[in-house]
Structure 1
Amino acid sequence: MATSRSNVPPESAAARRNPGSALGGGCDTETPSLKLAKEYLSLGGRRRSKIDDNITDVRQWEEDPPEAERFWRERVETLSKDERKQVEVFLPTINTP
């Protein structure tokens, strides 16, 4: 005699990778520093990071659009050194075309 399984549908591969997604919830996997970097870049920010031996530096060859410059000054430069470094690592690197 076959044993009957419960009426719960099998879990999808996506739900296994992202628990909670099957319920429409899910968890936010973006860190605050990633969100800041993405917002800066979405405003047209042109700064690029240089990471060498775990030392991060930011280079800027072209001026930022005014909104991106204001965002950088108000939201990134005001962070602690460690928090700012966390944002900088999410910028495109100077090796990125």
Structure 2
Amino acid sequence: MTESKKLADEYLRLGGRRKAKVDDNIVSTRTWDDEPAEADAYWQEHIAPLDDKRRREVELLLPSMNDV
């Protein structure tokens, strides 16, 4: 299991609700619902500070907006 997978799995386990949005190879996340404080704190502490490449790796492991 990669470090990116571990980060994404823990975020989702905490109830994270962000969805990956991939458009023309640009990756971002979207969330419309409030997410649990633990998940948001985890994102801010462990994922948001990552460099662009590593954060993109984590974001690609989240559920996709296209899967809805």
TM-score by length of 2: 0.94
Query: With structure 1 as the length reference, what TM-score do the two structures score?
Result: 0.67
Matched, 1:67 2:38: yes
Residue identity opposite 1:42 in structure 2: R
Residue-pair matches, total = 68
Q: Report how far residue 63 of structure 1 moved.
A: 1.2
Question: Within the alignment, does 1:31 sit opposite 2:2 as a pair?
Answer: yes
| 3-state SS in 2 of match to 1:74 | helix
- The worse-fitting range, judged by mean Cα deviation, of 69-78 and 52-61 is 52-61
Counterpart-to-counterpart distance in 2, 1:88 and 1:35:
12
CA distance in 1: counterparts of 2:14 and 2:64, whole angstroms: 17
Higher-strand-fraction structure: 2
- 3-state SS, counterpart of residue 67 of structure 1: helix
TM superposition outliers: structure 1 runs of 4+ over 2 Å: none
The unaligned stretches of length 5 or more in structure 2 are: none
Higher relative helix content = 2
SS in 2 for 1:56: strand
Greater relative contact order, per chain length (Cα 8 Å cut-off, separation 6+): 2
Q: Which runs of 5+ in 1 are unaligned?
A: 1-29
